[in-house]
Amino acid sequence: MRKLTFLLFILLINVLQSQKFDNLAQTPPMGWNSWNTFATDINEELVKDIADAFIDLGLKDAGYEYIVLDDGWSTRERGENGELIADPKKFPSGMKALADYIHSKGLKFGLYNCAGSKTCAGYPGSRGHEYQDAKTYASWDVDYLKYDWCNTGKLNAEEAYITMRDGLKAAKRPVVFSICEWGDNEPWKWGKDVGHLWRVTGDITPCWDCELGHGNWSSWGIWKIINMRKGIREASGPGHWNDFDMMEVGNGMTQGEDRVHFGMWALFASPLIMGNDLRAASKETLEILTNKEVISVNQDPLGIQGFRFMNENDIEIWIKPLANDGWAINFVNMSESKKELNYDWKKEHIGDNTVNRNLEVDKFTYEIRDLFKKQDLGTTKNNLKATIEGHDILMVKLKKK
């Protein structure tokens, strides 16, 4: 009997260890990642400046928390004992000191690695070193790991990500685990028990709807990304998010396009990871990134990913149910010229069958708030009338009266 109890105890310990860290990323993670602007040209001063900018520019106050170093932070080879080493030229004080700096500002620290033998930029990958690397991250007080998929040969994705998840669990420091295999192996089908977010496509690039070829792979404009994955919204929710990639707000699109990008990522409950140089960000870019009303749609506690409702006269209408019977609605002008919106709330029934929620405009009145202009726009008793510039958005929140 004693032996049986002991065996059951061991089994329970094993089961508990082979689970991801619970209760992390209950709302979509918010932060900054170095890749979109700096690629491997990263260093200690830059990261400290970004941490300072989080405080000085009101980004921390708006909810941004994680500062994530992407590819290129380590030396080209592992150390004598197979350990990862921070590049001493780029990070002379070491990763633990950098983590301490970030933590001293009340922020969290993330790193990047890869399931393959090498990262995408050719630095040491974690294959065969998963548990060792997880211990290294724990010793540096890392809070977030983005884990990529280059140089993986015939590895099975789910198994490879489970190995790293278990390594992180064994190292005992809670880490948000960000799966980055570009949607190739449909992580929305298996990612929930493995990580806290998973990329749904290949890399983003700052354009409206372009495809940028790089030989054997492409990067994608925002509308290519939005339209690439249909029917996966049910996979997303508190603790397990569809990740539409790091944002390109402030990286070259027009202000209207940046608003559309931010408003759509918010409506998708996608992680909001900034990818611009915060030290050089314009007032207009910061106004978009720190818009608390839009962010509150993204961070809504129900964590429901929005969906496409219809297209009327080149205006895309996307919808997201919110807590307290609220709704977020994005009206996006897909054309390049100005459009007049005249939306009759009674014309089409708005509802979300998957969560059994309906906008009951016949029974109730909803107050309408323009989230980018921060203005009240009356109620659903009347048609919603507005001018929307080309490639721009009217994002509204409906609140039951």
Residue 72 backbone phi and psi in degrees, to 5 = 100, 15
C-beta closer to ligand GLA: residue 247 or 398: 247
Q: Which residue has the tokens 């400290």?
A: 48
Cα separation, 26 vs 240, in Å, equals 8
Please count the other Cβ atoms lying within 10 Å of the Cβ belonging to residue 354: 12
Q: Which residue has the tokens 């921390």?
A: 60
Q: To the nearest whole angstrom, how small is the minimum distance from the Cβ of residue 112 to ligand GLA?
A: 6
Residue nearest to ligand GLA (CB): 120
Instruction: Tell me the residue type at 194.
Output: V
- Kindly state whether residue 243 participates in binding ligand GLA, applying the rule CB under 6 A: no
Q: To the nearest whole angstrom, how small is the minimum distance from the Cβ of residue 228 to ligand GLA?
A: 14
- Kindly state whether residue 71 participates in binding ligand GLA, applying the rule CB under 6 A: yes
Query: Among 297, 226, 259, which Cα is nearest to 30's?
Result: 297
Among 29, 50, 66, 70, binds ligand GLA (CB under 6 A): 70
Q: To the nearest whole angstrom, how small is the minimum distance from the Cβ of residue 87 to ligand GLA?
A: 15
Measured CA distances, 72 to 32, 40, 119, 389 (Å): 16, 5, 9, 40
C-beta closer to ligand GLA: residue 109 or 182: 182
C-beta closer to ligand GLA: residue 101 or 123: 123
From residue 91 to residue 130, what is the string marking binding to ligand GLA with x (rule CB under 6 A)? ---------------------x------xxx---------
Q: Which of 203, 245, 277, 300 is catalytic?
A: 203
Q: Write out the two tokens for 353.
A: 């069958």
- Kindly state whether residue 180 participates in binding ligand GLA, applying the rule CB under 6 A: yes
- Kindly state whether residue 248 participates in binding ligand GLA, applying the rule CB under 6 A: no
Q: Which residue has the tokens 């990612």?
A: 191
- Kindly state whether residue 302 participates in binding ligand GLA, applying the rule CB under 6 A: no
Q: Which of 71, 133, 143, 148 is catalytic?
A: 148
Q: To the nearest whole angstrom, how small is the minimum distance from the Cβ of residue 207 to ligand GLA?
A: 16
C-beta closer to ligand GLA: residue 221 or 303: 221
Question: Helix, strand or coil for residue 326?
Answer: strand
Q: Write out the two tokens for 289.
A: 């990134």
From residue 135 to residue 174, what is the string marking binding to ligand GLA with x (rule CB under 6 A)? -------------x--------------------------
Query: Among 57, 72, 372, 68, which Cα is nearest to 246's?
Result: 68
Query: Among 68, 66, 180, which Cα is nearest to 119's?
Result: 180
Interacting residues with ligand GLA between 5 and 24 (CB under 6 A): none
User: Does residue 203 have an active-site annotation?
Assistant: yes
Q: To the nearest whole angstrom, how small is the minimum distance from the Cβ of residue 157 to ligand GLA?
A: 14
Task: Tell me how many residues contact ligand GLA (CB under 6 A).
Answer: 11
Are 294 and 309 a contacting pair, CB within 8 Å?
A: no
C-beta closer to ligand GLA: residue 67 or 396: 67
Cα separation, 138 vs 147, in Å, equals 15
C-beta closer to ligand GLA: residue 221 or 306: 221
Question: Helix, strand or coil for residue 333?
Answer: strand
C-beta closer to ligand GLA: residue 268 or 331: 268
Are 345 and 383 a contacting pair, CB within 8 Å?
A: yes
Q: To the nearest whole angstrom, how small is the minimum distance from the Cβ of residue 278 to ligand GLA?
A: 18
**Positive or negative, the Cα torsion across 138, 42, 148, 28?**
positive
Q: Which residue has the tokens 């900018």?
A: 53
User: Does residue 148 have an active-site annotation?
Assistant: yes
Q: Treating both helix axes as pointing N-terminal to C-terminal, what angle do 44-56 and 94-104 enclose, rounded to 10 degrees?
A: 10
Cα separation, 389 vs 29, in Å, equals 30
Cα separation, 68 vs 100, in Å, equals 14
Among 21, 35, 268, 372, binds ligand GLA (CB under 6 A): 35
Among 130, 143, 203, 352, binds ligand GLA (CB under 6 A): 203
Positions that interact with ligand GLA (CB under 6 A): 35, 70-71, 112, 119-121, 148, 180, 182, 203
Q: Which residues are catalytic?
A: 148, 203
